[in-house]
Amino acid sequence: MEYIKTMRKLVGHSPIMICACGCLIFNERGQVLLQRRSDDNLWGNPGGSMDLGETIYETTIREIKEETNLEIKETDLKLFNIYSGENQHRIYPNQDEVYIVNIVFETSTYFGEIKGDSESYELKFFDIDKLPSNVTKTFKSVSRDLKVRKQNDRYKLPYETKDNQS
């Protein structure tokens, strides 16, 4: 976050490119954990911006801990997808503009009690078929891919393969 603060001092609200990492966390019922953000009141997966020198795994683990109080391990993270382009363009309520390279992982292995921070109004598990309609622009592609993958028998979500891997 210090990097972004430094960049903002130099460029103001002008567009910058950032790398963000997040995670789709599934419970035993196959529901996905979403965060209702305090800055725009919209839903999305928990995650955030990479700090200088961090790996994508370190960023994901740190952001999930900060925003949900859950602990996840690098070895339990599986790449879900990487998103970029116009659908990852965002203008925050304070008018800061970013283009995000958004790396999204998935896991069904986590530890701890869910508890939000100042960036979260609410944390809640949702059925994939019943995701909220008021989601962040950057989550729309993720939610589309979640629904497509759930309908496609060739792909299994982590909770579907955890106990029956051969």
- pLDDT on residue 40: 87
pTM, 2 dp: 0.87
- For 25, the enclosing helix (H) or strand (E) is strand 16-25
First to last CA, the chain: 42
CB 108 within 8 A of CB 24: no
pLDDT tens, the chain, 166 aa long: 688 888 999 999 999 999 999 999 999 999 999 999 988 899 999 999 999 999 999 999 999 999 999 999 999 999 999 999 999 999 988 999 999 999 999 999 999 999 988 888 899 999 999 999 999 999 999 999 999 988 875 445 555 555 444 3
The domain 2-153: what is its CATH number? 3.90.79.10
The residue ranges of every structural domain in the chain are 2-153
Read off the tokens for 70.
């859950």
pLDDT at 117: 82
Nearest to 136, CA basis, from 59, 69, 83, 61? 83
SS3 41: coil
DSSP-assigned states of every residue in 52-119: TT--HHHHHHHHHHHHH--B--GGG-EEEEEE-SGGGEEE-TT--EEEEEEEEEEES--BS-----TT
Give which of 83, 117, 88, 85 is closest to 103, Cα–Cα. 83
Q: Note whether 110 and 158 are within 8 A (CB).
A: no
User: How many other β-carbons are positioned within 10 Å of the β-carbon of residue 57?
Assistant: 16
Note the pLDDT of residue 33: 98
